[in-house]
Amino acid sequence: MKTQLNLTGDSKTLDALSRFLAAFETVQPEPIMQPKAICGEDNVIYIEVGYRTEEDSFLVGDHMAKIGAEIVEEMDILVALAPFVIEEPMGEGSRMDTVASGEL
């Protein structure tokens, strides 16, 4: 999986990011969009990534929080997953349309 990078950092920072991404590539379920790594104003490296469901984002987020904790403990660099749910457009006949029309 390729990750879009938008940051600059020293070799230690890049090592921490590499370690995080190596673990991230083994996690299921896979994201539905390409991850994007950015460095926040707080010097935290955030990996933004979208998932189909809130449950998927929670499962992966929980697992990667443990990996991030190990990295910050060993390297003093915080890398954090920032998962979000990609909203699919609601079309006619979708569950929300059915609920809104009182058909359930």
Residue 45 burial (CB count, 10 A)? 22
Q: How far is the C-alpha of 12 from the C-alpha of 56, rounded, in Å? A: 30
Q: For residue 59, list its beta bridge partners.
A: none
- pLDDT of amino acid 9: 73
Q: How does pLDDT run across 18-33, given as a tens digit for each residue? A: 999 999 999 999 999 9
Q: How does pLDDT run across 23-76, given as a tens digit for each residue? A: 999 999 999 998 999 888 778 999 999 999 999 999 999 999 999 999 999 999
CATH number corresponding to 4-100: 3.30.70
Say if residue 49 is exposed, middle or buried (CB neighbours under 10 Å; 0-12, 13-18, 19+): buried
- pLDDT of amino acid 76: 93
Place of tokens 């994007």: 36
